[in-house]
Amino acid sequence: MSHTNHPTNHCNLPYTDIPPALINVLVIVVPCDDGSGNMGDGLYNVTTLPHAITVTRRNTIVNYQLIAPTPDAFVFLGMEKKPSGGVWQLSKPSISLDGKMLTFSDQNSDREDIAVTLLFSDGMAHISHDPQVQNTPDQ
């Protein structure tokens, strides 16, 4: 009898050690006292690094992370998504306990640009930001 340290599924397919791809996007939200911001009627400037992401592997994990100098009061509230071609490729988001990370998986089965809206709050105001997610499964 052969023993293996890797589990198998019900179809007796071998387990693979290939981890899913992970794209981590840094998000910085800073107040703009002069009204020059790009969100919240000019009260805030939101920057994502990278600005846009291209997903090339199936079932990629996408993580948006609020980092300094974002004020501590800012947290993720959720995410809205709209498929351009009617195909839902993004899972429901998960928000970390401290509200600083928003994570979802991208099936990346169809080539398309996906309209994603990140929703934030600083405890008083709610703001949103629309980063770009481009799916290119055949690359």
% of the chain exceeding 90 in pLDDT: 60
At 77, the pLDDT band (50, 70, 90 cuts) reads very high
Looking at domain 22-135, its CATH class is: mainly beta
pLDDT for the residue 29: 95
Amino acid at 62: V
The mean pLDDT of 89-118, rounded to a whole number, is 94
Which of 128, 124, 72 is CA-nearest to residue 100? Answer: 72
Specify the pLDDT at position 86: 62
C-alpha 64/C-alpha 117 separation (Å) is 12
pLDDT score for 3:
47
Could you tell me the pLDDT band of residue 132, with boundaries at 50, 70 and 90?
confident
Query: Global pTM?
Result: 0.83
- Contact between 90 and 136 under an 8 Å Cβ cutoff? The reply is no
Within 10 A of 138 (CB to CB), how many other CB atoms are there?
7
Q: Are the beta carbons of 89 and 106 closer than 8 angstroms?
A: yes
Q: Are the C-beta atoms of residues 136 and 111 closer than 8 Å to each other?
A: yes
Per-residue pLDDT reduced to its tens digit, 14-29: 666 678 899 999 999 9
